[in-house]
Chain A
Amino acid sequence: MDDSLNGLGSKKVSRKDFLDLAVAASAGLTAVGIGVPILTYIWPPLEVTTTAGQKVKIAGLKDITPVKAKAVMFNNKPVLVINTGDNFIALAATCPHLGCVVKWDEPAGKIMCPCHGAAFDIRGNVLGGPAPSPLVPVPLTKAADGIYLG
Chain B
Amino acid sequence: MSYLDLVQPTAGDRLAVRALKATARFLEDRIRLVSLVDFLASKPVPHDLNWAYTLGSVCLFLLANQIVTGVLLALYYRPAISEAYESVRHIEEEVTCGWLVRQLHAWGANLMILALCFHMARVLWYGSYKKPREINWLIGVGLLLATLTFGFTGYLLPWDQLSYWASKVGTEIPGALPVIGSVLVKVMRGGEEITGATVGRFYTLHTLVLPGIVLGLVFLHLAIMRYHGITALPGKEHSRKVPFFPHHVMKDAISIYLTLAVLYVLVVVSPWKLHEKADALVTPEGVKPEWYFLWMYQFIKYFPQQIGFMSGKVVGIVLSSGVFGLLALAPVLDFGEGRLIQQRKLFMSLALAVLLGVLSLTVLGYICERDISLLGTTIHFDIKGFPEKVTGK
Question: Which residues from chain B contact A40 at a C-beta distance below 8 Å?
Answer: 96-97
**B94 A38 Cβ-Cβ under 8 A:** no
B268 to chain A, nearest CB (A): 13
Hey, what's the 0/1 contact readout for B54-90 against A, CB within 8 Å counting as 1? Answer: 0000000000000010001001000000000000001
Tell whether, in the assembled complex, residue B101 and residue A41 are in contact, meaning their CB atoms are under 8 Å apart.
yes
Complex alpha-carbon distance, A42 and B94, angstroms: 12
Residue count of chain A within 8 Å CB distance of chain B: 7
Q: What residues of A have a CB within 8 angstroms of the CB of B90 in the complex?
A: 45
Q: A45-B94, A45-B96 are in contact. Are A37 and B75 (CB under 8 A)?
A: no
A18 at the interface (CB under 8 A from B): no
- Contacts of A42 on B, CB cut-off 8 Å? 72, 75
Contact present for B94 and A41 (CB under 8 Å): no
Residues of A with C-beta under 8 A to B68: 38
B98 at the interface (CB under 8 A from A): yes
A-B pairs under 8 A by CB, number: 23
CB <8 Å contact, B96 and A43: yes
A37, B94: Cβ atoms closer than 8 Å: no
Chain A hits for B100, CB < 8 A = 37, 41
- Report the minimum CB–CB distance from B93 to chain A (whole Å): 10
CA distance A38 to B101 in the complex (A): 8
B72 near A45: Cβ-Cβ < 8 Å: no
B95 contacts partner chain A, Cβ-Cβ < 8 Å: yes
CB–CB A37/B95 < 8 A:
no
- Chain B positions 178 through 219: 1 when the CB is less than 8 Å from some CB of chain A, otherwise 0: 000000000000000000000000000000000000000000
Tell me which of B68, B94, B96, B101 has the highest count of chain A C-beta atoms within 10 A of its own C-beta: B96
Q: What are 13 pairs between A and B in contact, CB < 8 Å?
A: A37-B97, A38-B68, A38-B97, A40-B96, A40-B97, A41-B75, A41-B95, A41-B96, A41-B97, A41-B100, A42-B75, A45-B90, A45-B95
Q: Which single residue of chain A is at the shortest CB-CB distance from B264?
A: A33
Question: Which 10 pairs of residues, A with B, have the shortest CB-CB distance?
Answer: A37-B97, A40-B96, A41-B97, A45-B94, A40-B97, A45-B95, A41-B101, A37-B100, A41-B72, A41-B96
CA distance A41 to B100 in the complex (A): 9
The residues of B with any CB-CB pair to A shorter than 8 Å are 68, 72, 75, 90, 94-98, 100-101
Q: Could you tell me the distance between the alpha carbons of A38 and B105 in the complex, rounded to whole angstroms?
A: 13
Helix, strand, loop or mixed for chain B's interface?
helix
Contact residues in A for B95 (Cβ distance below 8 Å): 41, 45
**In whole angstroms, what is the CA distance A42 to B75 when docked?**
8
Besides the contacts A38-B97, A45-B94, what 12 more A-B pairs have beta carbons closer than 8 Å?
A: A37-B97, A37-B101, A38-B72, A41-B72, A41-B75, A41-B97, A41-B98, A41-B101, A42-B75, A43-B96, A45-B95, A45-B96
Q: Point out the residues of chain B lying under 8 angstroms from A43, CB to CB.
A: 96
Interchain nearest-CB distance for B4 vs A (Å): 20
Write out, one digit per residue, whether chain A residues 34-70 have a CB within 8 A of any chain B CB (1) or not (0): 0001101111010000000000000000000000000
Contacts of B98 in A (CB 8 A): 41
State the CA gap A9–B100 with chains docked (Å): 43
Closest chain-B Cβ to A38's Cβ sits at a distance in Å of 7
Cβ-closest chain A residue relative to B94 = A45
The residue on B at minimum CB distance from A38 is B72
Shortest A42–chain B CB gap in Å is: 7
Contacts of A37 in B (CB 8 A): 97, 100-101
Residues of A within 8 A of B75 (CB): 41-42
| Docked CA distance A41–B95 (Å) | 6
Question: Looking at A37, A41, A43, which has the most chain B CB atoms within 10 Å of its CB?
Answer: A41
Give bound CA distance, A40 to B72, whole Å: 11
Report the Cα distance A45→B96, complex, angstroms.
7
Which A residues are CB-close (under 8 A) to B72? Answer: 38, 41-42
B97 proximity list for chain A (CB < 8 A):
37-38, 40-41
Q: How far is the CA of A45 from the CA of B75 in the complex (A)?
A: 12
CA distance A51 to B72 in the complex (A): 30
Contacts of B94 in A (CB 8 A): 45
B60 → chain A, closest Cβ, in Å? 16
Quote the shortest CB–CB distance from A43 to chain B (angstroms): 7
Residues of B within 8 A of A41 (CB): 72, 75, 95-98, 100-101
Give the CA-CA distance A43 to B72 in the complex, in Å.
11
Q: How far is the CB of B126 from chain A (nearest CB, A)?
A: 30
Output the least CB separation between B239 and chain A (Å): 25
Contacts of A45 on B, CB cut-off 8 Å?
A: 90, 94-96
How far, in whole Å, are A43 and B100 apart by their CA atoms in the complex? 15
Instruction: Looking at the assembled complex, report how far the CB atom of A46 sits from the nearest CB atom of chain B, in whole angstroms.
Output: 9
Chain B residues lying within 8 Å of A38, measured Cβ to Cβ, are 68, 72, 97
Q: How far is the CB of A29 from chain B (nearest CB, A)?
A: 11
- State A142–B101 Cα separation when bound (angstroms): 49
Question: Closest CB of chain B to A127's CB: distance in Å?
Answer: 42
